[in-house]
Amino acid sequence: MQDLIEKAARIIDHSQRVLVFTGAGISTESGIPDFRSPGGLWSKYDPQDFYFDRFISDERAREKYWQMSSEAYATMKDARPNPAHLAIKCLEDRGKLELLVTQNIDGLHHKAGNSPEKIVEIHGTALSVSCLSCKKPYDRDEIEERRRSGVKVPYCDECGGILKPDTVSFGQAMPEDKMQRALECAMACDACVVAGSSLVVYPAASIPTQAARSGAQLIIVNRDPTPLDDYAAVVIHAGLSEVLGQILCPDSGPRP
């Protein structure tokens, strides 16, 4: 495995515009379970219950959604970045990070210190809430305090509209501006690092796919195989905290 780590590090050394794409695997090492893994939320809840149209149309669906979402937020709120997050911050400090696209909604890349303008949260964030009608923003902790006081389904105090965490639900349109920015970077980057993503959730997974098609060297670090492994210059099946720092922020100088 060390040969693969060194090969990946050389690719990064010789690259100037690196796109990093992160998935749930980087957050599990901070204690946030993957929704799809054993013990994750989808082993307790049925994902079919959380489609956006049901959330909009059914008060009972909203109540169940908020129960699930509050449970997830309780885990995310106090989670801390791990060495893999800090390795990506180091890549930015080296001046090589073009864009950080994350499927995660936990805000850990912000906590790690990456510049907000470098981060694209393709599935949104669980750390804030907005009214779907008037767009008024709310701090998540304020809404959770309402729920602890007995409010099962919070509504907007400005217009009475439906409140929802700023995440992208099943069946909800992806943010076009974020997707466009990510795809433009994918077409222009010279290296793309996939960290902790199974690359099975679309359209998000189309971003590293586009990078590979556009000629970027693809580096995949994930515990399990992905559909893009055959197209990657380097594939490492290992824990991210174990290897990502050696790839993105090695102690030694540039390699030949």
The set of catalytic residues is 123
CB atoms within 10 A of CB 157: 12
Does residue 55 contact residue 62 with C-beta atoms inside 8 Å? Answer: yes
The residue ranges of DSSP E strands in the chain, in sequence order, are 18-22, 97-102, 119-121, 124-131, 137-139, 163-167, 191-195, 217-221, 234-236
SS3 for 196? coil
SS3 for 120? strand
Q: Which residues contact 90 (CB under 8 A, 6 or more apart)?
A: 245, 248, 249
Cα 46 versus chain centre, distance: 21
| Region of 199 on the Ramachandran plot (φ > 0 left; ψ -120 to 50 alpha; else beta) | left
Q: Tell me which residue of 142, 248, 145 sits closest to 193, measured CA to CA.
A: 248
Beta-bridged to residue 131, according to DSSP, are 163
